[in-house]
Structure 1
Amino acid sequence: MSPTPRLIFMYVLFLCWLSPSAADLCNWSGSGLAREAEANSRTVQQVRLRCTEGSVEWVYPGQALRVVLEPNLSSARHTTVCIKPFRSFNGASVYIERAGELDLLMTDGGRPEQVFCFPADGPQKPAIFLLANPQRDISQRAVGFRYELLGNQTTAPNLGRSVLQASCRPCNDTELLLAICSSDFVVRGSIRNVSHNAERQTSLVEVSDGRVYRQRSGVFERHTGTIGVPGSSSSWHGHIHTLLQCHVKPGGGEFLFTGTEHFGEAWLGCAPRYKDFMSLYQSAWAARQNPCEFPLD
Protein backbone atom coordinates (compact mmCIF):
# COMPACT_ATOMS: atom_id res chain seq x y z
CA MET A 1 0.00 0.00 0.00
CA SER A 2 1.48 3.35 -1.06
CA PRO A 3 1.81 6.13 1.55
CA THR A 4 -0.69 8.97 1.57
CA PRO A 5 0.34 12.42 0.29
CA ARG A 6 0.31 13.76 3.85
CA LEU A 7 2.68 11.03 5.06
CA ILE A 8 4.96 11.70 2.10
CA PHE A 9 5.00 15.40 2.92
CA MET A 10 5.71 14.90 6.63
CA TYR A 11 8.39 12.30 5.88
CA VAL A 12 10.17 14.59 3.43
CA LEU A 13 10.11 17.55 5.79
CA PHE A 14 11.33 15.39 8.68
CA LEU A 15 14.33 14.04 6.78
CA CYS A 16 15.22 17.02 4.65
CA TRP A 17 16.28 20.62 4.87
CA LEU A 18 15.01 23.10 2.32
CA SER A 19 17.91 24.34 0.23
CA PRO A 20 18.27 28.01 -0.76
CA SER A 21 16.11 29.06 -3.65
CA ALA A 22 17.40 29.99 -7.08
CA ALA A 23 15.51 31.59 -9.94
CA ASP A 24 15.57 34.35 -12.53
CA LEU A 25 12.22 35.65 -11.26
CA CYS A 26 10.14 33.98 -13.97
CA ASN A 27 11.84 30.79 -15.16
CA TRP A 28 14.01 28.09 -13.61
CA SER A 29 15.97 25.17 -14.99
CA GLY A 30 18.26 22.79 -13.15
CA SER A 31 19.47 19.24 -12.75
CA GLY A 32 18.92 16.75 -9.98
CA LEU A 33 22.29 15.11 -10.60
CA ALA A 34 24.25 17.90 -8.94
CA ARG A 35 21.96 17.78 -5.93
CA GLU A 36 22.35 14.02 -5.50
CA ALA A 37 26.15 14.33 -5.71
CA GLU A 38 26.25 16.56 -2.64
CA ALA A 39 26.97 15.09 0.79
CA ASN A 40 23.50 15.99 2.02
CA SER A 41 21.56 14.30 -0.76
CA ARG A 42 18.30 14.49 1.20
CA THR A 43 17.96 18.20 0.64
CA VAL A 44 14.72 19.34 -0.95
CA GLN A 45 15.58 21.95 -3.52
CA GLN A 46 13.40 25.04 -3.29
CA VAL A 47 12.73 27.56 -6.05
CA ARG A 48 10.90 30.86 -5.70
CA LEU A 49 9.42 32.46 -8.81
CA ARG A 50 8.10 36.01 -8.77
CA CYS A 51 6.23 36.36 -12.06
CA THR A 52 2.65 35.65 -13.04
CA GLU A 53 3.83 33.30 -15.80
CA GLY A 54 6.92 31.33 -16.66
CA SER A 55 8.36 27.83 -16.79
CA VAL A 56 10.20 25.19 -14.75
CA GLU A 57 12.48 22.51 -16.22
CA TRP A 58 14.06 19.81 -14.03
CA VAL A 59 16.28 17.28 -15.80
CA TYR A 60 17.36 14.03 -14.16
CA PRO A 61 15.05 14.69 -11.19
CA GLY A 62 16.26 13.46 -7.82
CA GLN A 63 14.63 13.63 -4.38
CA ALA A 64 12.16 16.53 -4.51
CA LEU A 65 11.70 20.05 -5.85
CA ARG A 66 9.45 22.66 -4.23
CA VAL A 67 8.37 25.58 -6.43
CA VAL A 68 6.85 28.56 -4.61
CA LEU A 69 5.02 31.18 -6.67
CA GLU A 70 5.45 34.66 -5.22
CA PRO A 71 4.36 37.22 -7.82
CA ASN A 72 5.22 40.83 -7.18
CA LEU A 73 1.63 41.84 -7.89
CA SER A 74 -1.15 41.84 -5.31
CA SER A 75 -2.31 38.28 -4.61
CA ALA A 76 -5.90 39.51 -4.59
CA ARG A 77 -5.68 39.98 -8.36
CA HIS A 78 -4.62 36.40 -9.06
CA THR A 79 -6.60 33.64 -7.41
CA THR A 80 -6.06 30.69 -9.75
CA VAL A 81 -2.87 28.85 -10.71
CA CYS A 82 -2.70 26.83 -13.92
CA ILE A 83 0.16 24.60 -14.99
CA LYS A 84 0.71 22.79 -18.28
CA PRO A 85 3.26 19.93 -18.15
CA PHE A 86 5.69 19.59 -21.03
CA ARG A 87 5.03 16.86 -23.57
CA SER A 88 8.28 15.15 -22.47
CA PHE A 89 7.28 15.08 -18.78
CA ASN A 90 8.77 11.88 -17.33
CA GLY A 91 10.30 11.03 -13.97
CA ALA A 92 8.24 12.64 -11.21
CA SER A 93 4.78 13.12 -9.75
CA VAL A 94 3.26 16.57 -9.22
CA TYR A 95 1.56 17.64 -5.99
CA ILE A 96 -0.08 20.86 -4.86
CA GLU A 97 0.86 21.97 -1.36
CA ARG A 98 -2.10 23.10 0.73
CA ALA A 99 -1.86 23.91 4.45
CA GLY A 100 0.84 21.35 5.16
CA GLU A 101 -0.65 18.62 2.98
CA LEU A 102 0.02 17.45 -0.56
CA ASP A 103 -2.77 16.91 -3.07
CA LEU A 104 -1.80 14.73 -6.02
CA LEU A 105 -2.19 16.60 -9.31
CA MET A 106 -0.51 14.30 -11.84
CA THR A 107 1.38 11.02 -11.67
CA ASP A 108 4.34 10.04 -13.80
CA GLY A 109 3.03 8.91 -17.16
CA GLY A 110 -0.12 11.01 -16.84
CA ARG A 111 -1.63 13.12 -19.58
CA PRO A 112 1.04 15.59 -20.74
CA GLU A 113 0.02 18.98 -22.12
CA GLN A 114 -3.24 18.89 -20.19
CA VAL A 115 -3.89 22.11 -18.29
CA PHE A 116 -4.35 21.70 -14.53
CA CYS A 117 -5.79 24.58 -12.49
CA PHE A 118 -6.30 25.02 -8.76
CA PRO A 119 -7.34 27.91 -6.47
CA ALA A 120 -4.62 29.88 -4.71
CA ASP A 121 -6.54 32.37 -2.61
CA GLY A 122 -5.42 31.17 0.84
CA PRO A 123 -3.00 32.90 3.22
CA GLN A 124 -0.03 30.83 2.00
CA LYS A 125 1.77 31.32 -1.30
CA PRO A 126 0.88 28.62 -3.83
CA ALA A 127 3.52 25.88 -4.01
CA ILE A 128 4.03 23.04 -6.47
CA PHE A 129 5.84 19.97 -5.16
CA LEU A 130 7.62 17.58 -7.55
CA LEU A 131 8.58 14.21 -6.08
CA ALA A 132 11.07 12.22 -8.17
CA ASN A 133 10.16 8.63 -8.94
CA PRO A 134 12.64 5.75 -8.44
CA GLN A 135 15.31 5.97 -11.10
CA ARG A 136 14.81 3.82 -14.15
CA ASP A 137 16.22 4.94 -17.50
CA ILE A 138 18.10 8.12 -16.59
CA SER A 139 18.56 9.10 -20.25
CA GLN A 140 14.82 9.70 -20.63
CA ARG A 141 14.07 11.53 -17.42
CA ALA A 142 12.99 15.16 -17.59
CA VAL A 143 10.10 17.03 -16.03
CA GLY A 144 8.90 20.52 -16.65
CA PHE A 145 5.85 22.71 -16.90
CA ARG A 146 4.66 26.19 -17.74
CA TYR A 147 2.64 28.11 -15.18
CA GLU A 148 0.24 31.05 -15.16
CA LEU A 149 -1.46 32.93 -12.34
CA LEU A 150 -4.92 34.07 -13.40
CA GLY A 151 -7.61 36.35 -12.07
CA ASN A 152 -11.25 35.45 -11.51
CA GLN A 153 -12.37 36.39 -15.00
CA THR A 154 -10.79 34.10 -17.57
CA THR A 155 -11.66 31.88 -20.51
CA ALA A 156 -8.96 29.34 -19.73
CA PRO A 157 -10.03 25.68 -19.87
CA ASN A 158 -10.77 23.54 -16.82
CA LEU A 159 -11.75 26.46 -14.56
CA GLY A 160 -15.31 25.43 -13.76
CA ARG A 161 -18.56 24.91 -15.58
CA SER A 162 -19.84 28.45 -15.02
CA VAL A 163 -16.82 29.98 -16.75
CA LEU A 164 -16.98 27.49 -19.60
CA GLN A 165 -20.63 28.21 -20.23
CA ALA A 166 -20.13 31.96 -19.97
CA SER A 167 -17.45 31.86 -22.67
CA CYS A 168 -20.02 30.53 -25.19
CA ARG A 169 -22.74 33.14 -24.77
CA PRO A 170 -22.78 36.25 -27.01
CA CYS A 171 -21.29 39.40 -25.50
CA ASN A 172 -23.54 42.37 -24.83
CA ASP A 173 -22.73 45.90 -26.02
CA THR A 174 -20.86 46.88 -22.85
CA GLU A 175 -18.75 43.72 -22.94
CA LEU A 176 -17.91 44.29 -26.60
CA LEU A 177 -16.68 47.83 -25.96
CA LEU A 178 -14.63 46.70 -22.96
CA ALA A 179 -13.19 43.71 -24.84
CA ILE A 180 -11.16 45.89 -27.21
CA CYS A 181 -9.60 47.60 -24.19
CA SER A 182 -8.73 44.67 -21.94
CA SER A 183 -8.30 41.60 -24.16
CA ASP A 184 -4.91 39.99 -24.71
CA PHE A 185 -5.54 40.07 -28.44
CA VAL A 186 -7.77 42.09 -30.77
CA VAL A 187 -7.74 40.84 -34.36
CA ARG A 188 -9.87 41.58 -37.39
CA GLY A 189 -10.15 38.77 -39.93
CA SER A 190 -12.12 36.03 -41.64
CA ILE A 191 -12.77 32.44 -40.58
CA ARG A 192 -10.89 30.18 -42.96
CA ASN A 193 -11.62 26.87 -41.25
CA VAL A 194 -12.90 25.32 -38.00
CA SER A 195 -11.61 21.96 -36.75
CA HIS A 196 -12.74 20.01 -33.69
CA ASN A 197 -10.91 17.93 -31.08
CA ALA A 198 -13.27 15.57 -29.29
CA GLU A 199 -10.63 14.46 -26.77
CA ARG A 200 -9.86 17.98 -25.56
CA GLN A 201 -13.47 19.10 -26.08
CA THR A 202 -12.24 22.13 -28.00
CA SER A 203 -12.55 23.69 -31.44
CA LEU A 204 -9.79 25.46 -33.35
CA VAL A 205 -10.72 28.50 -35.44
CA GLU A 206 -8.30 29.36 -38.23
CA VAL A 207 -8.25 33.11 -38.89
CA SER A 208 -6.82 34.52 -42.11
CA ASP A 209 -6.61 37.83 -43.99
CA GLY A 210 -6.35 39.49 -40.61
CA ARG A 211 -5.21 42.75 -39.12
CA VAL A 212 -3.75 42.67 -35.61
CA TYR A 213 -4.63 45.64 -33.42
CA ARG A 214 -3.08 44.09 -30.34
CA GLN A 215 -1.64 40.78 -29.12
CA ARG A 216 0.32 39.84 -26.02
CA SER A 217 2.53 37.27 -27.70
CA GLY A 218 3.18 35.99 -31.19
CA VAL A 219 0.06 33.86 -31.65
CA PHE A 220 -0.78 35.66 -34.90
CA GLU A 221 1.94 35.84 -37.55
CA ARG A 222 2.30 38.03 -40.60
CA HIS A 223 2.33 36.27 -43.96
CA THR A 224 4.02 38.26 -46.71
CA GLY A 225 2.56 38.47 -50.18
CA THR A 226 4.02 36.71 -53.20
CA ILE A 227 6.52 38.84 -55.08
CA GLY A 228 5.42 39.62 -58.63
CA VAL A 229 1.80 38.58 -58.08
CA PRO A 230 -0.59 41.53 -58.59
CA GLY A 231 -2.87 42.21 -55.63
CA SER A 232 -0.80 40.00 -53.34
CA SER A 233 -0.10 41.70 -49.99
CA SER A 234 0.87 40.75 -46.46
CA SER A 235 -1.77 39.74 -43.93
CA TRP A 236 -2.02 38.15 -40.51
CA HIS A 237 -2.84 34.52 -39.83
CA GLY A 238 -3.41 32.52 -36.64
CA HIS A 239 -5.54 30.08 -34.68
CA ILE A 240 -7.99 30.68 -31.83
CA HIS A 241 -9.19 28.00 -29.41
CA THR A 242 -12.71 27.78 -28.07
CA LEU A 243 -14.92 25.14 -26.47
CA LEU A 244 -16.50 22.39 -28.51
CA GLN A 245 -19.82 23.03 -26.77
CA CYS A 246 -19.89 26.53 -28.29
CA HIS A 247 -20.57 24.94 -31.72
CA VAL A 248 -18.49 27.44 -33.70
CA LYS A 249 -18.99 27.13 -37.46
CA PRO A 250 -17.34 28.79 -40.46
CA GLY A 251 -19.09 31.97 -41.55
CA GLY A 252 -18.62 34.53 -44.27
CA GLY A 253 -17.57 38.13 -43.73
CA GLU A 254 -15.16 39.80 -41.34
CA PHE A 255 -15.14 39.39 -37.57
CA LEU A 256 -13.43 41.19 -34.73
CA PHE A 257 -11.87 38.49 -32.56
CA THR A 258 -10.94 39.23 -28.95
CA GLY A 259 -9.92 37.02 -26.05
CA THR A 260 -7.15 35.85 -23.75
CA GLU A 261 -3.85 34.05 -24.26
CA HIS A 262 -2.84 31.08 -22.12
CA PHE A 263 0.34 29.01 -22.54
CA GLY A 264 0.92 30.43 -26.01
CA GLU A 265 -2.63 29.73 -27.15
CA ALA A 266 -5.34 32.24 -28.03
CA TRP A 267 -8.77 31.59 -26.43
CA LEU A 268 -11.87 33.19 -27.87
CA GLY A 269 -13.79 35.83 -25.96
CA CYS A 270 -16.09 38.22 -27.82
CA ALA A 271 -16.24 37.86 -31.62
CA PRO A 272 -18.82 40.18 -33.24
CA ARG A 273 -19.05 40.77 -36.95
CA TYR A 274 -16.76 43.66 -37.74
CA LYS A 275 -19.44 45.84 -39.32
CA ASP A 276 -21.73 45.34 -36.31
CA PHE A 277 -18.96 46.27 -33.90
CA MET A 278 -18.05 49.41 -35.88
CA SER A 279 -21.68 50.55 -35.81
CA LEU A 280 -21.75 50.05 -32.03
CA TYR A 281 -18.40 51.76 -31.50
CA GLN A 282 -19.24 54.79 -33.66
CA SER A 283 -22.46 55.32 -31.70
CA ALA A 284 -20.57 55.07 -28.40
CA TRP A 285 -17.83 57.39 -29.70
CA ALA A 286 -20.38 60.00 -30.80
CA ALA A 287 -21.96 59.87 -27.33
CA ARG A 288 -18.49 59.92 -25.69
CA GLN A 289 -19.21 56.60 -24.03
CA ASN A 290 -16.38 54.59 -25.55
CA PRO A 291 -14.09 53.23 -22.78
CA CYS A 292 -11.01 53.37 -25.03
CA GLU A 293 -9.98 54.40 -28.52
CA PHE A 294 -10.21 52.12 -31.56
CA PRO A 295 -9.06 52.91 -35.13
CA LEU A 296 -11.90 54.17 -37.32
CA ASP A 297 -10.87 52.88 -40.72
Structure 2
Amino acid sequence: MNYTFLRKPCCTIESTNLCGLSQHPGSVEQISLRCAEGSLEWLYPNGALRLTLSPRLPSAAVGPVGSGHGSSGHITACVKPAESFLGAQLYLERDGVLELLVGDRPDESRPPRVRCFSTQPGERLALFLQATPHQDISRRIAAFRYELRGDWNARVSLDSDPISSEGACRPCNDTEILMAVCTSDFVVRGNIHSVVDDKDLRASVIKVSATRVYRQKYALFSGGGRLAKWGEIRTLLECGARPGAGSFLFTGRVHFGEAWLGCAPRYKDFLRAYDLAKEARQIPCELASD
Protein backbone atom coordinates (compact mmCIF):
# COMPACT_ATOMS: atom_id res chain seq x y z
CA MET A 1 0.00 0.00 0.00
CA ASN A 2 1.02 3.60 -0.55
CA TYR A 3 1.29 5.83 2.51
CA THR A 4 0.65 9.57 2.58
CA PHE A 5 0.95 11.78 5.65
CA LEU A 6 -1.60 14.32 6.80
CA ARG A 7 -1.12 17.37 8.97
CA LYS A 8 -1.07 16.39 12.65
CA PRO A 9 -3.79 18.19 14.59
CA CYS A 10 -3.01 19.50 18.07
CA CYS A 11 -5.66 21.03 20.29
CA THR A 12 -7.59 20.42 23.49
CA ILE A 13 -10.47 18.69 21.72
CA GLU A 14 -9.77 17.83 18.11
CA SER A 15 -12.26 17.40 15.31
CA THR A 16 -10.93 15.84 12.13
CA ASN A 17 -12.94 15.93 8.89
CA LEU A 18 -11.73 14.05 5.81
CA CYS A 19 -13.03 13.23 2.36
CA GLY A 20 -12.06 10.00 0.64
CA LEU A 21 -12.78 11.34 -2.87
CA SER A 22 -9.25 12.73 -3.07
CA GLN A 23 -7.63 9.55 -1.76
CA HIS A 24 -6.21 6.88 -4.07
CA PRO A 25 -7.73 3.37 -3.76
CA GLY A 26 -5.46 1.13 -1.73
CA SER A 27 -3.60 4.03 -0.10
CA VAL A 28 -3.27 4.46 3.66
CA GLU A 29 -3.19 7.96 5.14
CA GLN A 30 -1.45 8.43 8.47
CA ILE A 31 -2.99 10.64 11.17
CA SER A 32 -1.72 11.23 14.71
CA LEU A 33 -4.36 11.78 17.38
CA ARG A 34 -2.65 14.03 19.91
CA CYS A 35 -5.61 15.18 21.99
CA ALA A 36 -7.30 13.48 24.92
CA GLU A 37 -10.68 13.52 23.20
CA GLY A 38 -12.16 14.35 19.85
CA SER A 39 -14.03 13.12 16.82
CA LEU A 40 -13.30 11.98 13.29
CA GLU A 41 -15.61 12.14 10.27
CA TRP A 42 -14.65 10.43 7.02
CA LEU A 43 -16.91 11.31 4.10
CA TYR A 44 -16.99 8.92 1.11
CA PRO A 45 -14.48 6.48 2.67
CA ASN A 46 -11.83 5.25 0.26
CA GLY A 47 -8.61 3.37 0.97
CA ALA A 48 -7.71 3.38 4.65
CA LEU A 49 -6.68 5.61 7.56
CA ARG A 50 -4.16 4.66 10.23
CA LEU A 51 -4.68 6.66 13.41
CA THR A 52 -1.79 6.56 15.87
CA LEU A 53 -2.59 7.31 19.51
CA SER A 54 -0.18 9.82 20.98
CA PRO A 55 -2.26 12.02 23.29
CA ARG A 56 -0.84 14.89 25.29
CA LEU A 57 -2.80 14.15 28.44
CA PRO A 58 -3.25 16.95 31.00
CA SER A 59 -1.65 16.34 34.38
CA ALA A 60 -5.07 15.89 35.98
CA ALA A 61 -5.78 13.00 33.63
CA VAL A 62 -2.77 10.87 34.32
CA GLY A 63 -3.43 10.03 37.96
CA PRO A 64 -1.37 10.80 41.05
CA VAL A 65 2.14 9.52 41.37
CA GLY A 66 2.09 5.97 42.56
CA SER A 67 -1.53 5.41 41.52
CA GLY A 68 -0.55 2.86 38.91
CA HIS A 69 -2.26 4.71 36.07
CA GLY A 70 -0.83 7.64 34.14
CA SER A 71 2.41 7.65 36.12
CA SER A 72 3.13 4.16 34.77
CA GLY A 73 2.23 4.93 31.16
CA HIS A 74 -1.12 3.10 31.31
CA ILE A 75 -3.76 4.63 28.99
CA THR A 76 -7.37 3.63 28.42
CA ALA A 77 -9.07 4.58 25.15
CA CYS A 78 -12.73 4.34 24.15
CA VAL A 79 -14.43 4.86 20.79
CA LYS A 80 -18.13 5.47 20.14
CA PRO A 81 -19.36 5.11 16.54
CA ALA A 82 -21.99 7.49 15.19
CA GLU A 83 -25.46 6.03 14.74
CA SER A 84 -25.05 6.56 10.98
CA PHE A 85 -21.58 4.94 10.80
CA LEU A 86 -21.33 3.50 7.28
CA GLY A 87 -18.78 2.72 4.60
CA ALA A 88 -15.84 1.45 6.64
CA GLN A 89 -14.72 -0.88 9.40
CA LEU A 90 -12.76 0.26 12.44
CA TYR A 91 -10.02 -1.98 13.83
CA LEU A 92 -7.68 -1.85 16.79
CA GLU A 93 -4.11 -2.48 15.66
CA ARG A 94 -2.06 -3.93 18.52
CA ASP A 95 1.53 -4.86 17.64
CA GLY A 96 0.54 -5.44 14.01
CA VAL A 97 -2.54 -7.59 14.80
CA LEU A 98 -5.99 -6.24 13.85
CA GLU A 99 -9.09 -6.63 16.04
CA LEU A 100 -12.49 -5.51 14.73
CA LEU A 101 -14.09 -2.80 16.88
CA VAL A 102 -16.87 -1.45 14.63
CA GLY A 103 -18.41 -3.16 11.59
CA ASP A 104 -19.58 -1.43 8.42
CA ARG A 105 -23.24 -1.31 9.36
CA PRO A 106 -23.86 -1.43 13.14
CA ASP A 107 -27.23 -2.65 14.38
CA GLU A 108 -29.47 0.41 13.95
CA SER A 109 -32.03 -0.98 16.41
CA ARG A 110 -29.63 -0.55 19.34
CA PRO A 111 -27.60 2.42 20.65
CA PRO A 112 -24.03 2.62 19.27
CA ARG A 113 -21.77 0.36 21.30
CA VAL A 114 -18.81 1.94 23.02
CA ARG A 115 -15.61 -0.08 22.72
CA CYS A 116 -12.74 0.41 25.16
CA PHE A 117 -9.20 -0.92 25.32
CA SER A 118 -6.08 -0.34 27.38
CA THR A 119 -2.46 0.18 26.51
CA GLN A 120 0.55 -0.92 28.50
CA PRO A 121 3.87 0.97 28.72
CA GLY A 122 5.79 0.61 25.48
CA GLU A 123 2.92 -1.07 23.65
CA ARG A 124 2.32 0.05 20.05
CA LEU A 125 -1.35 0.80 19.38
CA ALA A 126 -3.24 2.41 16.53
CA LEU A 127 -6.73 2.55 15.05
CA PHE A 128 -7.11 1.32 11.49
CA LEU A 129 -10.11 2.56 9.50
CA GLN A 130 -10.60 0.47 6.34
CA ALA A 131 -13.09 1.56 3.68
CA THR A 132 -15.54 -1.10 2.50
CA PRO A 133 -15.72 -1.44 -1.32
CA HIS A 134 -19.03 -0.33 -2.86
CA GLN A 135 -20.19 -0.25 -6.47
CA ASP A 136 -22.34 2.87 -6.13
CA ILE A 137 -21.26 6.38 -5.12
CA SER A 138 -23.99 7.08 -2.57
CA ARG A 139 -23.10 9.23 0.41
CA ARG A 140 -21.45 7.34 3.25
CA ILE A 141 -19.89 8.72 6.42
CA ALA A 142 -17.72 6.77 8.84
CA ALA A 143 -17.68 8.88 11.99
CA PHE A 144 -16.84 8.23 15.62
CA ARG A 145 -15.88 9.98 18.85
CA TYR A 146 -12.95 8.93 21.01
CA GLU A 147 -11.57 9.54 24.48
CA LEU A 148 -8.16 8.72 25.91
CA ARG A 149 -7.43 8.86 29.61
CA GLY A 150 -4.61 7.86 31.90
CA ASP A 151 -6.67 7.68 35.10
CA TRP A 152 -9.50 5.31 34.22
CA ASN A 153 -9.70 2.02 36.04
CA ALA A 154 -12.25 -0.76 36.37
CA ARG A 155 -14.70 1.53 38.16
CA VAL A 156 -15.34 3.64 35.08
CA SER A 157 -14.61 1.11 32.36
CA LEU A 158 -18.24 0.75 31.37
CA ASP A 159 -17.83 -1.32 28.25
CA SER A 160 -16.83 -4.95 28.02
CA ASP A 161 -14.11 -6.17 25.68
CA PRO A 162 -11.33 -6.21 26.59
CA ILE A 163 -11.65 -4.21 29.80
CA SER A 164 -12.86 -6.09 32.85
CA SER A 165 -15.55 -4.63 35.10
CA GLU A 166 -14.18 -6.61 38.02
CA GLY A 167 -14.25 -4.49 41.15
CA ALA A 168 -16.41 -1.78 39.58
CA CYS A 169 -19.21 -2.35 42.10
CA ARG A 170 -16.99 -2.63 45.17
CA PRO A 171 -17.53 0.19 47.72
CA CYS A 172 -14.64 2.64 47.91
CA ASN A 173 -12.41 2.70 50.95
CA ASP A 174 -11.55 5.98 52.72
CA THR A 175 -8.36 6.53 50.71
CA GLU A 176 -10.19 6.04 47.40
CA ILE A 177 -13.00 8.37 48.47
CA LEU A 178 -10.63 11.19 49.36
CA MET A 179 -8.66 10.76 46.13
CA ALA A 180 -11.89 10.69 44.09
CA VAL A 181 -12.84 14.06 45.52
CA CYS A 182 -9.56 15.48 44.20
CA THR A 183 -9.46 13.89 40.76
CA SER A 184 -13.06 13.30 39.59
CA ASP A 185 -14.75 15.17 36.76
CA PHE A 186 -17.70 15.89 39.04
CA VAL A 187 -18.16 16.09 42.81
CA VAL A 188 -21.76 16.58 43.90
CA ARG A 189 -23.70 16.28 47.13
CA GLY A 190 -27.28 15.16 46.66
CA ASN A 191 -30.07 12.65 47.05
CA ILE A 192 -31.19 9.75 44.87
CA HIS A 193 -34.61 10.46 43.38
CA SER A 194 -34.95 7.29 41.31
CA VAL A 195 -32.99 4.53 39.53
CA VAL A 196 -33.95 3.18 36.11
CA ASP A 197 -32.29 0.11 34.57
CA ASP A 198 -31.61 0.42 30.83
CA LYS A 199 -30.78 -2.99 29.39
CA ASP A 200 -29.99 -1.56 25.95
CA LEU A 201 -27.36 0.73 27.48
CA ARG A 202 -26.35 -2.02 29.91
CA ALA A 203 -26.45 0.60 32.62
CA SER A 204 -28.50 1.90 35.53
CA VAL A 205 -29.43 5.58 35.31
CA ILE A 206 -29.51 7.32 38.70
CA LYS A 207 -31.63 10.48 38.84
CA VAL A 208 -29.98 12.82 41.35
CA SER A 209 -31.25 15.92 43.08
CA ALA A 210 -28.03 17.84 43.77
CA THR A 211 -28.05 20.15 46.78
CA ARG A 212 -24.48 21.29 46.18
CA VAL A 213 -22.22 21.07 43.12
CA TYR A 214 -18.58 21.32 44.15
CA ARG A 215 -17.17 20.65 40.69
CA GLN A 216 -18.46 19.48 37.33
CA LYS A 217 -17.11 19.11 33.82
CA TYR A 218 -19.75 20.47 31.46
CA ALA A 219 -23.25 21.31 32.70
CA LEU A 220 -24.12 17.89 34.08
CA PHE A 221 -26.30 19.19 36.91
CA SER A 222 -28.51 22.16 36.15
CA GLY A 223 -32.03 23.52 36.33
CA GLY A 224 -34.28 22.68 39.24
CA GLY A 225 -35.22 25.08 41.96
CA ARG A 226 -33.18 27.54 43.98
CA LEU A 227 -31.97 24.86 46.41
CA ALA A 228 -31.39 21.92 44.05
CA LYS A 229 -30.17 20.99 40.59
CA TRP A 230 -31.00 17.85 38.64
CA GLY A 231 -28.75 15.45 36.81
CA GLU A 232 -28.25 11.83 35.81
CA ILE A 233 -25.40 9.49 36.72
CA ARG A 234 -24.84 6.11 35.07
CA THR A 235 -23.33 2.99 36.57
CA LEU A 236 -22.92 -0.60 35.41
CA LEU A 237 -26.13 -2.59 35.31
CA GLU A 238 -24.59 -5.47 37.23
CA CYS A 239 -23.91 -3.19 40.20
CA GLY A 240 -27.64 -3.31 41.01
CA ALA A 241 -28.00 0.36 42.01
CA ARG A 242 -31.13 1.05 44.04
CA PRO A 243 -32.64 4.20 45.61
CA GLY A 244 -31.41 4.94 49.11
CA ALA A 245 -32.43 7.49 51.73
CA GLY A 246 -30.08 10.22 52.91
CA SER A 247 -27.45 12.48 51.41
CA PHE A 248 -24.60 11.11 49.27
CA LEU A 249 -21.39 12.54 47.84
CA PHE A 250 -21.32 11.49 44.18
CA THR A 251 -18.03 11.46 42.28
CA GLY A 252 -17.05 10.06 38.90
CA ARG A 253 -16.00 10.63 35.30
CA VAL A 254 -17.55 12.20 32.23
CA HIS A 255 -17.64 9.67 29.41
CA PHE A 256 -18.80 10.92 26.00
CA GLY A 257 -20.73 13.73 27.68
CA GLU A 258 -22.38 11.48 30.29
CA ALA A 259 -21.67 11.21 34.01
CA TRP A 260 -20.48 7.75 35.18
CA LEU A 261 -20.31 6.88 38.85
CA GLY A 262 -17.04 6.42 40.70
CA CYS A 263 -17.20 6.61 44.50
CA ALA A 264 -20.51 7.52 46.14
CA PRO A 265 -20.28 7.36 49.95
CA ARG A 266 -22.97 8.68 52.22
CA TYR A 267 -22.11 12.27 53.01
CA LYS A 268 -21.71 11.56 56.73
CA ASP A 269 -19.21 8.78 55.95
CA PHE A 270 -17.24 11.12 53.70
CA LEU A 271 -17.12 13.76 56.46
CA ARG A 272 -15.82 11.19 58.94
CA ALA A 273 -13.02 10.11 56.57
CA TYR A 274 -12.27 13.72 55.62
CA ASP A 275 -12.03 14.95 59.22
CA LEU A 276 -9.77 12.05 60.24
CA ALA A 277 -7.42 12.65 57.31
CA LYS A 278 -7.36 16.40 57.95
CA GLU A 279 -6.53 15.86 61.60
CA ALA A 280 -3.69 13.53 60.60
CA ARG A 281 -2.54 16.04 57.94
CA GLN A 282 -2.93 13.39 55.27
CA ILE A 283 -5.71 14.98 53.26
CA PRO A 284 -4.87 15.02 49.50
CA CYS A 285 -6.95 18.15 48.79
CA GLU A 286 -9.48 20.37 50.49
CA LEU A 287 -13.25 20.41 49.94
CA ALA A 288 -15.46 23.05 51.49
CA SER A 289 -17.78 21.25 53.92
CA ASP A 290 -21.11 22.47 55.25
Q: 1:47 aligns with which of 21, 25, 31?
A: 31
Q: 2:283 aligns with which of 268, 287, 290?
A: 290
CA deviations on 1:79-108 (whole Å, 9 max, x unpaired) are 332211111111111112233332222211
3-state SS of 2:233 partner: strand
3-state SS of 1:27 partner: strand
Larger deviation, residues 73-82 vs 251-260: 73-82
CA deviations on 1:5-35 (whole Å, 9 max, x unpaired) are xxxxxxxx3xx223334434433112112x1
Q: Corresponding residue for 2:104?
A: 108
Alignment of 1:25-174 (within 5 A): 25=11, 26-33=14-21, 35-36=22-23, 40-73=24-57, 76-111=72-107, 113-121=112-120, 123=122, 125-135=124-134, 138-151=137-150, 153-154=153-154, 155-158=156-159, 163-174=164-175
CA deviations on 1:177-216 (whole Å, 9 max, x unpaired) are 2221122211111111111022333111111133211123
Which amino acid in structure 1 is aligned with residue 54 of structure 2? E
For the pair 1:251 / 2:237, whether they are aligned, the reply is no
Pair 104,280 (structure 1): closer, same or farther in 2 beyond 3 Å: closer
Q: Corresponding residue for 2:67?
A: none
Q: Which has the larger radius of gyration?
A: 1
Task: Report the Cα distance in structure 1 between the residues aligned to 2:16 and 2:124, rounded to whole angstroms.
Answer: 18
Which amino acid in structure 2 is aligned with residue 127 of structure 1? A
5+ residue gaps in structure 1? Answer: 1-12, 226-232
Q: Corresponding residue for 2:200?
A: 199
Task: Report the Cα distance in structure 2 between the residues aligned to 1:286 and 1:24, rounded to whole angstroms.
Answer: 44
Instruction: Tell me which stretches of 4 or more aligned residues in structure 1 moved more than 4 Å.
Output: 73-76, 136-140, 159-163
Larger deviation, residues 20-29 vs 108-117: 20-29
TM-score of the aligned structures, taking structure 2 as reference length? 0.83
Does structure 2 conserve the Cα–Cα contact (< 8 Å) formed by 1:68 and 1:127? Answer: yes
Task: Report the Cα distance in structure 2 between the residues aligned to 1:60 and 1:161, rounded to whole angstroms.
Answer: 30
Which amino acid in structure 2 is aligned with residue 247 of structure 1? G
Pair 221,130 (structure 1): closer, same or farther in 2 beyond 3 Å: same
Alignment: residue pair count = 271
Identical pairs, percent: 46
Would you tell me which structure has more helix in proportion to its own residues? Answer: 1
Q: Corresponding residue for 2:254?
A: 261
Superposed CA RMSD in Å reads 2.5
Which amino acid in structure 2 is aligned with residue 265 of structure 1? E
TM-score of the aligned structures, taking structure 1 as reference length? 0.81
3-state SS of 1:199 partner: coil
Query: 1:289: how far off?
Result: 2.8
Q: Corresponding residue for 2:222?
A: 222
